[in-house]
């Protein structure tokens, strides 16, 4: 087992602990509650804006936002969670995202990075450009795998880092085509993409899908290759027209905490756990509420590491921030 883990690049990743998604307005929260956060997950797009250069508008790093982020980053390790790569767009991914990530990797080192497993836009064969305005799911088909696998491999080769894909929430019927369900699809994607492809298992998303489409999340997760899970997201949302929505606007619901404990006991390579919160929801959840979610996440995290006899290899934050 140790020999196998020694060869597994995901097993070799540093343990980061419990974190939160970085938002520019969290600076005050982070300075007041730094003991609750071991690391930050940031979205490169959120540090950028459309800017003009020589008459052309393009997505570029916003010096003010990035400067603030660098200041906070000196104290905490970070991971990257992208939003706009649109890895599943059949007409091609977002070309302007990768140069942004290249630029950020020069200044901010991160042990892995991740993206949403979905698509945002497509250009029709006639040249019409269409955008979803929100992340949409990939159908669980062989054609989708054939599109995604070479792209994942390309990204892994480009950054020489493990790359994680996050399972998303979907509300559309008929995604599980060809007899392949979501877990089969995730397993196939990881296996075909190589040992550096991991999963960012969003348990709230998975729970939403289970409730919305009436399947047992435990039975479904029994099939998942747990060794691929490097990072876990938890969050809360709301309900609309009978569907549970992934909006990161609430406390983590009880069934998701139960799923978290179940997964932590079975996933040997989990290195990080993030409570995700929409910036605009901070007032609704309240600072106290965010602290409660982070404290409970930490309690689950520590309990699982004790139960599974995994060493708490969490390196001192400052030392970690300096070393990566």
Partner 1 sequence: MSLRDWQAALLKILPNPEQTSHVLEQQTGQLTRRERDHLTGLSLSTGLDVTRDVQIWWRQARLQIAIPFSMRLIQRLELQKIVAQYQKRPCTTLFFLREAQAFSEFIQENPEAPTLLRDMVQFECALHMARLRQAGAGSHPTQEFSPSDTLELPLTYCPEDCMTALLQNTPLPGSSPDGVTIQMNSHWPRLWRRVR
**Binding string, residues 284-313; x marks residues near partner 1 by CB under 8 A:** ------------------------------
Can you say how many angstroms the Cα of residue 14 is from the centroid of all Cα atoms in its chain? 16
Contact status: 120 vs partner 1 (CB under 8 A): yes
Q: Does 129 bind partner 1 (CB under 8 A)?
A: yes
* 158-186 burial code (b ≥16 CB/10 A, e <16): ebebbbbbbbbbbbeeebbeeebbbbbbb
Report d(CA 280, CA 298) in Å as an integer: 24
Name the minimum Å distance from CB 62 to partner 1. 5
Q: Indicate whether 181 belongs to the interface with partner 1 (CB under 8 A).
A: no
Kindly state whether residue 119 participates in binding partner 1, applying the rule CB under 8 A. Answer: yes
DSSP codes, 210-268: HHHHT--HHHHHHTS-GGGEEEEEE---EEETTEEE----SPPPHHHHHHHHHHHTT-T
Distance CA 294, CA 251 (A): 10
Minimum distance of partner 1 from residue 25's CB (angstroms): 13
Q: Is residue 71 part of the contact set for partner 1 (CB under 8 A)? A: no
Q: Is 211 in the site for partner 1 (CB under 8 A)?
A: no
For 297, the enclosing helix (H) or strand (E) is helix 287-307
106: buried, middle or exposed (CB in 10 Å: 19+, 13-18, 0-12)? exposed
Site for partner 1 contains 147 (CB under 8 A): yes
The verdict on 24 binding partner 1 (CB under 8 A) reads no
Per-residue binding string, partner 1, 223-242, x by CB under 8 A, is -----------------xxx
Write phi, then psi, for 312 (nearest 5 degrees).
-80, 90
CB 170 to partner 1: min, Å: 8
Residues that bind partner 1 (CB under 8 A): 45, 49-53, 59-60, 62-65, 67, 83-84, 89-91, 119-122, 124-125, 128-134, 136, 139, 141, 143-144, 147, 170-174, 212, 240-243, 245, 280
């Amino acid at each position: 087992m140790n020999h196998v883990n020694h060869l597994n690049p995901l097993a070799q990743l540093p343990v980061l602990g419990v974190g939160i998604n970085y938002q520019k307005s969290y600076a005050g929260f982070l300075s007041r509650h730094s003991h609750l956060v071991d690391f930050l997950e940031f979205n490169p797009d959120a540090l950028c804006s459309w800017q003009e250069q020589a008459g052309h508008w393009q997505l570029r790093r916003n010096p003010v936002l990035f400067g603030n982020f660098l200041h906070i980053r000196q104290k905490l390790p970070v991971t990257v969670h992208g939003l706009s790569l649109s890895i599943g767009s059949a007409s091609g991914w977002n070309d302007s995202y990768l140069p942004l990530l290249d630029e950020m990797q020069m200044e901010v080192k991160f042990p892995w990075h991740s993206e949403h497993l979905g698509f945002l836009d497509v250009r029709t064969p006639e040249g019409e450009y269409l955008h979803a305005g929100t992340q949409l799911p990939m159908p669980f088909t062989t054609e989708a795998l054939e599109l995604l696998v070479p792209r994942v491999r390309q990204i892994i080769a480009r950054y020489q880092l493990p790359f994680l894909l996050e399972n998303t929430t979907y509300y559309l019927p008929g995604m599980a085509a060809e007899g392949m369900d979501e877990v089969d699809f995730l397993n196939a994607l990881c296996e075909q993409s190589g040992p550096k492809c991991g999963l960012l298992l969003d348990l709230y998303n998975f729970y939403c899908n289970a409730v919305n489409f009436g399947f047992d999340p435990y039975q479904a997760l029994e099939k998942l290759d747990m060794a691929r899970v490097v990072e876990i997201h938890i969050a809360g949302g709301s309900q609309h027209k009978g569907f549970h929505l992934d909006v990161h606007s609430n406390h983590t619901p009880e069934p998701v905490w139960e799923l978290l404990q179940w997964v932590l006991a079975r996933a040997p390579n989990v290195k990080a756990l993030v409570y995700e919160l929409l910036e605009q929801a901070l007032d609704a959840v309240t600072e106290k509420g965010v602290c409660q979610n982070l404290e409970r996440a930490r309690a689950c995290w520590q309990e699982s590491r004790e139960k599974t006899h995994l060493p708490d290899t969490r390196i001192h934050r400052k030392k970690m921030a300096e070393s990566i």
